[in-house]
Chain A
Amino acid sequence: MKSMERREFLKIAGLAGLALTGVGKLDLAAATAQQPSPVDLAVIQNGDPAAMVRKSLEVLGGISRFVKKGQVVVVKPNIGWDRVPEQAATTNPDVVAEIVRLCLKAGAAKVKVFDKTCNQARRCYQRSQIEKAASDAGAEVSHIYPQKFRKVTISQGKELKSWEFYQDALEADVFINVPIAKHHSLSRVTLGLKNIMGVIGENRGHIHNRFDVKIVDLNTVIKPQLTILDAVRILMDNGPQGGNLNDVKEMNMIIAGADPVAVDAYGATLFGLKPENLGFLQEAQRRNLGRMDIQKLKIEKVNLKA
């Protein structure tokens, strides 16, 4: 036990510097992505998943707005559960793969795909079919290394003053959040902001009480440059892992945008929820992470069937 403690200490001491430089880099990357956007949200419907992803980025002004040559990109899907894509508990593998392909096409040096899973990781990676789809598309898909979590001070944290974050997420030049839209008993719905829980360490159960504040605390550290919400199939009940196909609704929709709060706000409406009734969206807007007043945003809807 003693040697374990020493090891932990060395890990923290030896790499504190590294983690700090990682945070600095991320802020820099966030700043460079602040370019004028043609539209705030792209809402694409009724195509095959890959086509909808392509279209959404076209609407947003092209992937090159977000990914520059030589950058390291993290594409963060939800691989949390040991479920198959049809059960709508994990992000659609075709969506993930298409994003990976676009990033590589835009000249990304490397695209990393990972998630800290709730069920056993190998099962989730395989059965969600994300592992195969993403690595076939050229991504570096790896299971979480417990050793790669770094304690980060959350300067804007209200409830959480510090937490462990995954090194690869902290050091990424570009972070693309790819959640799936699902029912969740606690937060009513789980979308992009909650998907950030997949890059944090420690006991995530502690995030659950006073969730609305804590989830926003986490989102002040990891700020995705792009959020692409998978609403190809959405889970209407018994979330976040479902299991009953009757709870799955075919929406055939992709919602994408640079503002993570706006994407979530739009996603909430798919469940008949009003963004202003969701605590975590209110909190996120209050803290200037983005806007939930979607009526006032520029939204371009494209129906690929039409």
Chain B
Amino acid sequence: MRTARRISQAIFFLFFLYLFFQAAYPYEPFISSDTLLRFSPLVAITTLLATRQWIGPLVFAFIVLGLSIALGRYFCGWICPLGTTIDAADWLRRKLKRQSQPSRHLRTWKFTMLILLLVAAIFSLQLAWLFDPIVIMTRSFTAALFPIFGFLVQSLFDILIRFGVFQDSLYAVNDFLRESILPLEQVYFQNSVLLLLVLGSILLLTLLARRYWCRYLCPLGALFGGFASLRLTRGITVAGDKCIDCGKCQRECKMDAINDDFRSHSRVECIECMSCISVCPTQAISYRLNFHWAPENLDISRRRFLYSTAGSVITLATIRTAFPNKIAHGAVVRPPGALPEGEFLDRCVRCQACSKICSSTGACLQPALLESGLEGIWSPIVNARHGYCEYNCNLCGQVCPTGAIHPLPLDAKQKMRMGTAYFDKSRCIPWYRAEDCLVCEEHCPLPDKAIKFDIREARAPNGEIRVVKFPYVDESLCIGCGICVTKCPVAGPGGIFLTNALEQRWEENNPI
């Protein structure tokens, strides 16, 4: 049974990786890349609560959740890619021979987290992004691990190629990798260090106890635990007469779920990993799915419930009353097809799947830090100086699990205004130096270019009179793709910049 569980973990982890790497141009998916994200009941419930709308593709999540009535926290033990990663990180704990067993009272923390998220969601504040394990995995892999992975593999090839032997075969292998999993050029994400620290902290917690995150903190685990408490089957079953009270099962249990009598366990905590069955010297433990009804108390006191609700409300109020920084907010450009800002933030779970797929085309999307306020942390924003929205690309909407970015057909996307570009004449070469440039105009992808130019005589800084092409933006044409900003050769902020002026958001009743 334990082997079966490990195989399942491996399969789902590889599935996660497959979906992750698949999210790149050309995107012709066999299975949509956001499938695993849609499996997460926490994402589904908080999104539904926050938006008060039924979002069709999230139906999977309720099937996943419903199954726990029969199978307990099977998701945590058999499927969750973060759980698998934490299990893998366990070798470090073994190596350092760390042994500690924190107090079982900590278990209730995860319920506090869950209540906090759910209450916030009721008040239309989406916080699942902070703690949902699948979101954490997708985001960390995108913004923290993917760039590192790309760098290391490419550097290895660079070093090997420099030796000067087998160059053709090395380039062939390198090309193959670039066609499959490596980016064509190094990808970069802002705040990647922060995201790496978050994942690293979760993994390092395992030094305090195996699956520390899953035991004490994970709100998705709490949600499954809640259902598991009402489970209709027996699951792990101990034949009391065969048990010799050796305690091996309790020491082995990742979740510290086995009670001190060695004959019973907390079904809220058990993740069905089957390790106890494997270590039992007398084969006293078995797994049974026959009907059994014995609801378990969830350890949530009324007081704790009130505390977490209050915590949630205070968090909400703090976030909602954060200073509205108009200068910063004016520069926040969302992906094409993004819903109106409030609804967008309710739906966006900050998984950064959009930024992952964007990194394979125009590479404009980046995880925000505070650019769009506290509520917008790690939501996707356009950094036009780094990348631009590719005119012929509409992939971000296709991988968004919650529809925060509406999947637009290409012709609609090409008309969707993300914002408007403006020249900074004090920095634009023709304007301050009286010299032709027109890199922006060259790159403007519109069939009728939004960057036009006047041809006039002008006095250069050295006094010479020249005929110069002076560019300007035709506001009625610009869709705010930002390629002019990306390609502007002027150092620093560039001679042209992007704002969200005149932006359009996707609205059901007001489609493009």
Give residues in A with beta carbon < 8 Å to B: 7, 10-11, 14-15, 82, 118-123, 126-127, 142-143, 145-147, 184-186, 203, 205-206, 208-211, 238, 240-244, 247
Q: Is the CB of B436 within 8 A of A143?
A: no
Kindly list chain A residues whose C-beta atoms are within 8 Å of the C-beta of B446. Answer: 243
Q: A185-B438, A186-B438 are in contact. Are A209 and B390 (CB under 8 A)?
A: no
**Is A122 a contact of B25 with CB atoms below 8 Å?**
yes
Q: Which 5 A-B pairs have the closest CB atoms?
A: A205-B489, A243-B447, A244-B447, A205-B439, A209-B435
* A209 pairs with B437, CB closer than 8 A: yes
For B392, give its contact among A7, A82, A143 (CB under 8 Å).
Answer: A82
Nearest-Cβ distance from residue A20 to partner chain B, whole angstroms: 15
The answer to whether the Cβ of B202 comes within 8 Å of any Cβ in the partner chain is no
B414 to chain A, nearest CB (A): 10
Q: A120-B361, A122-B25, A142-B175 are in contact. Are A210 and B392 (CB under 8 A)?
A: no
Interface membership of B94, Cβ < 8 A: no
Interchain CB contact under 8 A, B390 and A82: yes
Evaluate contact between B392 and A123: CB separation under 8 angstroms.
yes
Question: Bound state CA distance, A254 and B242, in angstroms?
Answer: 89
User: Which B residues lie within 8 Å of A10 (CB)?
Assistant: 162
Once the chains are docked, how many angstroms separate the CA of A123 from the CA of B483? 15
Q: Does B391 count as interface, using CB distance less than 8 angstroms?
A: yes
Of all chain A residues, the one with the shortest Cβ separation from B393 is: A123
In the bound complex, residues from chain B placing their C-beta under 8 Å from that of A205 are 437, 439, 487-489
Asked if B155 CB lies within 8 Å of chain A CBs, one says: yes
> Is A122 in contact with B488, judged by CB distance below 8 angstroms?
no
Task: Please state if A185 and B390 are interface contacts (CB–CB under 8 Å).
Answer: no
Q: Smallest Cβ distance from B87 to chain A, in angstroms? A: 32
A-B pairs with beta carbons under 8 Å apart, 13 shown: A7-B155, A11-B158, A120-B184, A120-B360, A123-B393, A143-B184, A145-B174, A184-B442, A205-B487, A209-B429, A238-B449, A240-B442, A244-B447
Dominant SS among interface residues on chain B: loop
- Nearest CB on A from B386, distance (A): 13
Return the chain B residue nearest A122 by Cβ. B25
Q: Which residue of A lies closest to B489 (CB)?
A: A205
Which residues from chain A contact B154 at a C-beta distance below 8 Å? 147
> Assuming A147-B161, A186-B436, what are 20 further A-B pairs, CB within 8 angstroms?
A7-B155, A15-B162, A119-B362, A119-B392, A120-B362, A123-B390, A123-B393, A127-B392, A145-B174, A147-B154, A186-B437, A186-B438, A186-B442, A209-B429, A209-B433, A209-B435, A209-B437, A240-B442, A241-B443, A242-B447
- Shortest C-beta distance, A4 to chain B (Å), equals 9
What residues of chain A lie closer than 8 Å to B361, measured between beta carbons?
Answer: 120, 123
Question: Inside 8 A of A123's CB, which chain B residues have their CB?
Answer: 25, 361, 390, 392-393
Nearest-CB distance from A6 to chain B (Å)? 12
Q: Contact: B184 with A121, CB < 8 Å?
A: yes
Size bracket of the B interface: 35 or more
Is B367 engaged at the interface, CB distance under 8 Å to the other chain?
no
**A-B Cβ contacts below 8 A, count:** 96
| Least distance between B193 CB and chain A CB atoms (Å) | 12
Interface status of B453 (Cβ within 8 A of chain A): yes
Query: Bound complex: CA of A241 vs CA of B392, how far in Å?
Result: 13
Q: By the criterion CB–CB under 8 Å, are A185 and B453 in contact?
A: yes
B132 within 8 A of partner (CB): no
Residues on the A chain within 8 Å of B487, using CB = 118, 205
- Measured CB to CB, the closest approach of chain A to B410, in angstroms, equals 12
Q: Quick check: is B186 within 8 A (CB to CB) of the other chain?
A: yes
- Interface membership of B185, Cβ < 8 A: yes
Contact between chains at B390 and A119 (CB < 8 Å):
yes
Which chain A residues lie closer than 8 Å to B362 at the CB level? 119-120
- Do A122 and B360 touch across chains, with their CB atoms under 8 A apart? yes
The reply to whether the CB of B241 lies closer than 8 angstroms to some CB of chain A is no
Most A C-beta atoms less than 10 A away, residue of B158, B437, B442, B446: B442
Residues in B whose Cβ lies below 8 Å from that of A206 = 489
Which B residues from 146 to 205 make CB contacts under 8 A with A? 154-155, 158, 161-162, 171, 174-175, 178, 184-186
Chain B residues positioned under 8 Å from A208 (CB to CB)? 436-439, 442, 489
Q: Give the docked Cα–Cα distance between A210 and B178 (Å).
A: 36
Contacts of A186 in B (CB 8 A): 436-438, 441-442, 469
Is B391 in contact with A209, judged by CB distance below 8 angstroms?
no
Chain B contacts with A in 103-161, Cβ cutoff 8 A: 154-155, 158, 161
Are A143's CB and B178's CB within 8 A? yes
Distance, CA A241 to CA B433, complexed state (A) = 27
Residues of B within 8 A of A242 (CB): 447
B330 interface residue, CB < 8 Å from A? no
How far, in whole Å, are A150 and B82 apart by their CA atoms in the complex? 43
Nearest neighbor of A245 in chain B, beta-carbon distance? B447
Most buried by B among A123, A142, A211, A238: A123
Are A147 and B158 in contact (CB-based, < 8 A)? yes
* B493 at interface, CB cutoff 8 A: no
By the criterion CB–CB under 8 Å, are B186 and A146 in contact?
yes
Residue of A nearest to B488 (CB): A205
Closest A residue, CB atoms, query B438: A186
Flag if B489 contacts A14 (CB, 8 Å).
no
B448 within 8 A of A: yes
Bound complex: CA of A163 vs CA of B38, how far in Å?
A: 49
Complex Cα gap A244–B391 (Å): 14
- Report A-chain residues with C-beta under 8 Å of the C-beta of B25: 120, 122-123
Give B354-369 interface residues, CB cut-off 8 Å to A. 360-363
Instruction: Choose from A120, A142, A146 the contact partner of B390 (Cβ within 8 Å).
Output: A120
Q: B419 at the A/B interface (Cβ < 8 Å)?
A: no
- In angstroms, Cα B448 to Cα A244, docked, is 8
Which residues in A have their C-beta under 8 angstroms from that of B429? 209
A82 CA to B26 CA in the complex, in Å?
Answer: 13
